[in-house]
Amino acid sequence: MNVTFFSELEDGSSNNFSTSKEIPEDSILGGGDFTKDNIGELLSCFRSGHSTESDNLWLLSTSFSETLSTIDDDSLKGVATHWAEESSWGGTDANENELANHLFELKCAYSSSSKRIWVFFE
């Protein structure tokens, strides 16, 4: 499933997008091919959670955003290593380096923001 991480829009809304193409380009933080279980386990690795706004839209907790903006690179690599070992990756060739790259991309894109992070599943 295609996943798009994006920051809260200027008006504070999430809008109810029907496709990722509707998300404003300047709010997109990253994404990839993940399942909801993958993202749920990632949040667990961060000891964080989410609220479900709709079947295809999650609002991540502020603790995820705060940790992402302050975590050092070695710790982020450790999170990726732990995430790669989670059960949702069973039967796949999950690569901790690729997962770390996704997290580094997300961190870099988010580092200049203080807005909430949303996840859109398509």
Measured between alpha carbons, how far is 50 from 62 in angstroms, rounded to an integer?
9
Which residue has better confidence, 20 or 114? Answer: 20
**Domain residue spans of the chain:** 2-9+24-121
Query: If residue 50 lies in a helix (H) or strand (E), which one and from where to where?
Result: strand 50-54
Q: Give the per-residue pLDDT at 13.
A: 67
The answer to whether residue 9 scores a pLDDT higher than 90 is: no
Percent of the chain residues topping a pLDDT of 90: 75
Cα–Cα dist 43/47, whole Å: 6
Structure confidence by residue, pLDDT tens digits, 20-78 = 999 999 899 999 999 999 999 999 999 999 999 889 999 999 999 999 989 999 999 99
